[in-house]
Amino acid sequence: MVKNMNDSLPLAASSSSWDWLIQDDRIHRTVYTDPSIFAREMNNIFAATWVYLLHESELPEPGDFRRAWMGTRELIVTRDEARALHVFANRCTHRGATVCREAAGKASSFTCPYHGWKFDNRGQLFGIPGKTAYGAGFKARDMHLARPAQVASYKGFVFATLNPDAPPLETHLGAAASFMDEWIEHQGGADNIVVGGAQRFHLDCNWKMVFDNAGDGYHPPFSHQSLLQMTNARYGGGDISYFADADRSRMSLHALGNGHTLIDQRPDMYANSAWEQQRPQPGREVFEAHVRATVADEDTKRVLESAVGAGMNLNIFPNLLLIGNQIQVIQPLNTAGTTMHWHATRRRDAEDALNTMRMRTQEDFPIMGEMDDAGNFEECQRGLTSFPEDEWIDMSRHHETGQDVADEHGRIVGPVTSELHERAYYAQWKRLMAAEPTLQVNKSRIA
């Protein structure tokens, strides 16, 4: 085992500064702007807790691989000939060059382009050019590609952590697991989900701007005003228009523990028919006519609605957002830079017509809505950076109204516009940032 004792810590864990930076109802601006805080997040959050990597359907065949990230750490995830998954650092154990230069593909081995060291697709070193030049000291060392301390999959969703002391993945997911199950059920079950490509966006903002928004039921009538106005003018309402007076809606916000949260849109989106609620997408008439002609009357609503999003915004701290039918992944790059990956999904059991409709539906919000949010995140970053004397970010909405209420399962449920989401995930953020986690990789031979 190789231990990384976090070379230089920018902030002392024992410091009371965390309680000052993250208060009950406000956050200090430097949490979004200070490079030393970002550097510590990459260890204490994006390595020391479970980080989502990819969905197993992205590696359907033996030999498939794709790059993935734990924050700024780049990994390769592979499926070997026995169909087992492997996760290892994209970093040659010789001089540090990346051994994989492609985003995804098929490979039985990875040869470092610099000096030709060869690793199999389980990350095991099996070839060194001119091996006779090495002696016993070298041969005693573990030189296989570095593997995270723990890797686990929850119903096809693959996570990893460098922290050997992190609780089991299911414990970490906790109350969020049953909502993941509901999301998976909307897709027809765990084995039914197939990732069908991705849209990727670069944002000039801190990654938490994206996470903040993922549980924000307050912004839609404002940030998405153009979308709502257009939808009303052209179609007399529909889509997310139920957010217009959100605190009177049937939607709710749930704090699920460990920083995970949920916006449940289903009571409004599925109140009558989610298919009728959604804006018309290309191919709508053709698909609807096809379903009505081929599916029994009592099943048409269910089939049409399986082309529509799940009505959940399920946020698994720190980087997995299940939104609509998409698997969204947050990849922090630096203090003010973030990549968003929006993975689209189709259903294995569905005919092509349904999956085609799902693609057109999943393309709708990114260009019609997400762009306006992204612009607002970037402007938040600019505002926070440009005016340091105004130090605080407010998250007190519904903090003092008594409307965030613990339910019988120990979850807290509040109005959909409550800033409970931020308060809940920042409590977890603070716990993790104040800790002194052990981060480990393993370069030994796979048993």
Residues that bind other proteins (CB under 8 A): 103, 196-202, 223, 225-227, 229-230, 233-236, 276, 279-286, 288-289, 292, 297, 300, 339-340, 342, 344, 346, 352-353, 355-356, 359-360, 362-364, 367-368, 371-372, 374-376
Distance, CA of 327 to CA of 325 (rounded, Å)? 7
Which residue number, 174 or 337, has a Cβ lying nearer to other proteins? 337
Which residue number, 10 or 105, has a Cβ lying nearer to other proteins? 105
CB of 201 to other proteins, least distance (A): 6
Which residue number, 1 or 289, has a Cβ lying nearer to other proteins? 289
Strands of 107-206 (E only): list them.
Answer: 109-111, 118-120, 125-127, 147-148, 150-154, 157-161, 193-203
CB of 282 to other proteins, least distance (A): 4
Which residue number, 256 or 291, has a Cβ lying nearer to other proteins? 291
CB of 229 to other proteins, least distance (A): 5
CB of 352 to other proteins, least distance (A): 6
Nearest CA-CA partner of 161 in 45, 38, 4, 331: 45
CB of 283 to other proteins, least distance (A): 4
Q: Nearest 5°: CA angle at 373, between 230 and 196?
A: 90
CB of 263 to other proteins, least distance (A): 21
Which residue number, 92 or 209, has a Cβ lying nearer to other proteins? 209
Distance, CA of 202 to CA of 334 (rounded, Å)? 12
Q: Taking the CB of residue 126, how many other CB atoms lie within 10 A of it?
A: 11
Which residue number, 120 or 239, has a Cβ lying nearer to other proteins? 239
DSSP code per residue over 385-429: HH-TTS-EEE--TTTSSS--EE-TTS-EEE-TT-THHHHHHHHHH
| Largest pairwise CA distance in the chain | 77
Name, in order, each residue with C-beta under 8 angstroms of 111's C-beta and a sequence gap of 6 or more.
99, 117, 118, 119, 127
